[in-house]
Amino acid sequence: MTIALRHARVRYGPLEALHGITLAAPSRGLTVLLGRNGSGRTTALRALAGTVPLSGGAVVWDGTDVTRMPAHERARRGLCLVPERQAVFGSLTVRENLELAAPSYDTALAAYPRLEPLLARRAGTLSGGEQRMLALSRALLARARVLLVDEPAQGMSPAVATRTYEVLAALDACVVVAEQRMPPALRDRPALVYELRRGAVVFGGEAGELLRREAAARTPWERPARHPHPPG
């Protein structure tokens, strides 16, 4: 199963946020949408999820044009969007948030053991990183076929961020994440990367290729210094 944007355009009033972009995420594995704020990476996620309408182009899921399919119907068919904000029910406890996703939530606690002592806490009182863990746990319990996550490791410690990407990479699903820059935890993992800039795709390819290009583009004084061995 593949989900794709084809020549997709999105407008917010008079401003066009996506300028006819084309990208595709494979049925299994990680796809990373990179870009600074205003690049269109979040809008691309929302377009795939159906939470913003296209003004042109199409969304194609497993060979079917779903451009006019409402977001709730895409969710019913196995698509899950984890937005950057308001991804949990703040007035409910951690346990209640998890139980809304699935009656049994052992797999969520296995992914994020730090949530177990917080089960009785209201989600709105958690730190930003803890709320992110809870939001992702809910998504894991949903067993989505397509998982879209905006900045999954936001607010997390480096160790928990690394764990998060390990969990996402191990899923038997299409996983698309949006990030401002390439996460360190993904630099040694296979991933498909699209870099967006001002609503256009400026790079599409394997993560390793992007990293090689970035290294080659550095100026000499930005590259790590090489110290010659002293004569022996």
pLDDT digits (tens, 9 = 90+) for 41-56: 999 999 999 999 999 9
For every residue of 58-126, DSSP letters joined together read EEEETTEE-TTS-HHHHHHTTEEEE-SS--S-TTSBHHHHHHHH-S--HHHHHH-GGGGGGTTSBGGGS
- Judge whether 18 lies within some domain: no
**Which of 173-183 are b and which e, b meaning 16 or more Cβ less than 10 Å from the residue's Cβ?**
bbbbbbbeebb
Give the CATH number, domain containing residue 91. 3.40.50.300
Inside any domain, residue 5: no
Q: Does residue 10 lie in a domain region?
A: no
How far apart CA 176 and CA 190 sit, in angstroms, is: 13
**Could you give the number of structural domains in the chain?**
1
Provide mean pLDDT across the span 24-36: 95
Residue 32's beta-bridge partner residues? 177, 193
Percentage of the chain lying above the pLDDT 70 cut: 93
Residue 226: inside a domain = no
pLDDT of 144-198, one tens digit each? 999 999 999 999 999 999 999 999 999 999 999 999 999 888 888 889 999 999 9
How far is the C-alpha of 53 from the C-alpha of 63, rounded, in Å?
A: 19
First-to-last C-alpha distance (Å) of the chain: 59
Domain contains 102: yes
Residue 15 pLDDT greater than 70, yes or no: yes
* Residue 11 covered by a domain: no
pLDDT in tens, 112-140: 999 999 999 999 999 999 999 999 999 99
Show the domain range for 42: 26-50+70-220
Q: How far apart are CA 8 and CA 15, in angstroms?
A: 14
Other C-beta atoms within 10 Å of 14: how many? 5
To 10 degrees, what angle do helices 128-142 and 94-101 make?
Answer: 20
In a domain, 62, yes or no: no
CA distances in angstroms from 79 to 44, 67, 75, 195, listed in the order given: 14, 14, 4, 23
Within a domain: 36 = yes
